[in-house]
Structure 1
Amino acid sequence: MSVKLFLFVGAGGMLGTGGRYCISLLFGDTDGYPFATLTVNLIGCFLLPFLLNHPNVKQKLAPELLTALTVGLIGSFTTFSTLAVETARLWNESVTMAIGYIMISFLIGLALCFLGYRISTRKQVNE
């Protein structure tokens, strides 16, 4: 890996963690339900396949910038470990809430992945 690519990924990571922190501030204390983590993970489920598959993105962005956005920004913006910790915490409070959280995260996340992929790979009107 080149130093340039390493720095690009690091810069993307800085932006992703900053964005994630801002969303956690936006939601504030939500009575224990992890809305901030759910939100960032669902946003990431849409953005990652969109960026990886949209023909204009792949043509117009330098490979280093695309890697910075996908690995750096989205990789640091979303988190599975926090999802797991928050699910375990919810499980101790309410098994129903924990199962609901996992189902929402997975099902809506998967749907947003498909949506991001479909939008990014559909025929472009101006081509």
Structure 2
Amino acid sequence: MTVPHPERVGESGAPVRAPARGASPWHGQGPVVAVVALGGAVGATARYGAARLWPTSADAFPWTTFAVNVVGCAVIGVFMVLITDAWRAHRLVRPFFGTGVLGGFTTFSTYAVDIRKLIGAGHAGIGLGYLAATLCAALAAVWLGVAATRRALAWRRR
């Protein structure tokens, strides 16, 4: 028969009490979750605004989503160098801006839906071109953002 909560026994043979339960895991993570949600709302609102300002027709290359994702990736590259190499950021800056704002601004879901719509509408060439162009441009944007920021910081330190 198994015992639901077996007691631990110490070296002396006496039962060892389990440590008291600490604070809820949300105690330390609550502020992080809150700033990610707030940042996500800001980023998603900015992306929505971009889509409203520069609408793209359903059968054309989705330039707005492409630009949003590439710009967001460049900013991620710059931001990560700044908060890791240039200055000591508050513990909530990365979750707010990196995960929240930039995560809400850039959009993999819209990218995937755009590709599916283009291919489904018989525009496979545009859809596959968009797939490849976004991937290459986003990676290049992160790399350029990192490289340019590191170069600027090195030049500034001279």
Task: State if a TM-score over 0.5 links the two structures.
Answer: yes
Q: Which residue of 2 aligns with 1:99?
A: 128
- CA deviations on 1:28-85 (whole Å, 9 max, x unpaired) are 2x222322211211111111122112322xx153120122100001111111121111
Letter in 1 for 2:98: T
- Find the residue that maps to 1:11 and give its secondary structure: helix
Larger radius of gyration: 2
How far apart, in 2, do the equivalents of 1:43 and 1:11 lie?
20
Q: Which amino acid aligns with 2:44?
A: T
Matched, 1:70 2:98: yes
Tell me which residue corresponds to 1:112: 141
Shift of 1:23: 0.3
Q: Does 1:81 align with 2:109?
A: yes
Distance in 1 separating the partners of 2:142 and 2:93 = 21
Give the distance between the partners of 2:112 and 2:35, measured in 1 at CA: 28
> Could you say which residue in structure 2 is the equivalent of 1:48?
76
Amino acid at match of 1:31: S
Q: Percent identity?
A: 26
> In structure 2, how many angstroms separate the alpha carbons of the residues matched to 1:116 and 1:16?
19
Residue 22 of structure 1: aligned partner: 49
Structure 1 unaligned runs (5+)? none
Structure 2, unaligned runs of 5 or more: 1-27
Distance 2:94 2:154 in 1: 20
* Structure 1 stretches of at least 4 aligned residues deviating more than 3 Å after TM superposition: none
Q: CA deviation at 1:119?
A: 1.6
TM value normalised by structure 2: 0.71
